[in-house]
Amino acid sequence: MLEFIKINDKYYVVEVRQVTDNQTAVEESGSKVVVQCNLFDLCQLWCETISVENLIEREKKSDSIIQYTAEIVNETILARKADDFCITQGCPDSVCGDLFLRLKYYVQSIPVTFTLRLKVATSDELAENVILPTWRTLLMLYEENCALKDIILKKDIEIEQYKLEGAILKRNLVATNKFDERKFSETFPLSTSSEGLRIRDLIKNRERRLNLMKHLKIKSKDPVETGSPTKNSPKLSKTILTPTRKSPGGRAKGLDAIFAKQRLPKSISASSMSLKRLQASQCDEDDDKEEVLSTSQSSINQSDLSNASGMVKVRKITKL
């Protein structure tokens, strides 16, 4: 269960999940099923880690009427959102700041409750459950964003190449303008406060981002940044940028082969690529016209011969 809900006029992130706890594992019977509960109010974290067996025993002591079993645990707190949430302060003799989280479910119209005794998380627990996952998710989203921008730029180049070859878009409703990354960033409808750590500026630098990924144990597959080609970046030659009729299937399939084999760096802008493709297309245009004319002429001659032979046969038949 993972929810962002309002409890007692305050918003919390409530997470209950199954984990593997080596400290509670029994070698003879294997690992126990362990439940971890995290309560986060965007400022502080409370958590409890308890095995399912101990949770059942504790609930049986507080409510002897309900027959708590592992199946009930799997069907409730590990499977779905609670029907009711309640947070109370810990008992007087507990450590200051501890909370009780009461989760209420209905199983076949019978109320079943679980009370989780949450303690204030240590700095290590806060980093493991909140800070590090947030950084990993942020870096992954940034990498996905960069990859999608590269795909859009390549699609613009591909569409322009199709237009140069004579393709016409009949549905104007789906027509789009060329992607402008700067304009897109300036007009994006969401914005963040300038206070606090400038994370966006921090992760824009590729070297810093790679160091963060290495520290967070994330495998880097990010595209090449503008103006910072890597050592193993593919070098684009004229043969790569000028597919001709000798390419398998003509220029269209030759273009597909380029994008399949080459991972174009960001430093190659759409305008420069389009210019090179335009020059290549103009160079091949005369050869293509000659080939089309010769092919059409030969086909016309063959059709004339076939028509003439057909007329001779008709005349012979009429004479008979």
Question: pLDDT tens for residues 16-30?
Answer: 999 875 544 333 334
Kindly report the average pLDDT of the chain as a whole number. Answer: 74
What's the N-to-C CA distance of the chain in angstroms? 93
Which domains can be identified in the chain, with CATH numbers? Answer: 4-23+30-121 (2.170.210), 125-216 (1.10.287)
Return the pLDDT at 290.
58
58 C-beta neighbours (distance < 10 Å), count? 15
pLDDT above 50 for 268: no
Instruction: Catalogue the E-assigned strands of 44-93.
Output: 45-51, 84-89
∠ at Cα 257 (252, 258), nearest 5°?
A: 95
Confidence category of residue 49, pLDDT binned at 50, 70, 90: very high
Give the least confident one: 143-157, 216-230, 283-297.
Answer: 283-297
What angle is formed at CA 201 by the lines to CA 197 and CA 206, rounded to 5 degrees? 125
pLDDT category of residue 221 using cuts at 50, 70 and 90: low
pTM for the full model?
A: 0.59
Alpha carbon 252 to its chain centroid, in Å, reads 29
Q: Which residue has the higher pLDDT, 190 or 54?
A: 54
Q: List the one residue out of 33, 44, 119, 109 whose CA is nearest residue 78.
A: 33
**Average pLDDT of the residues in 115-123:** 93
Check: CB of residue 98 under 8 Å from CB of residue 118: yes
Handedness of CA 168, 173, 177, 178 (dihedral sign): negative
Does 158 have pLDDT greater than 50?
yes
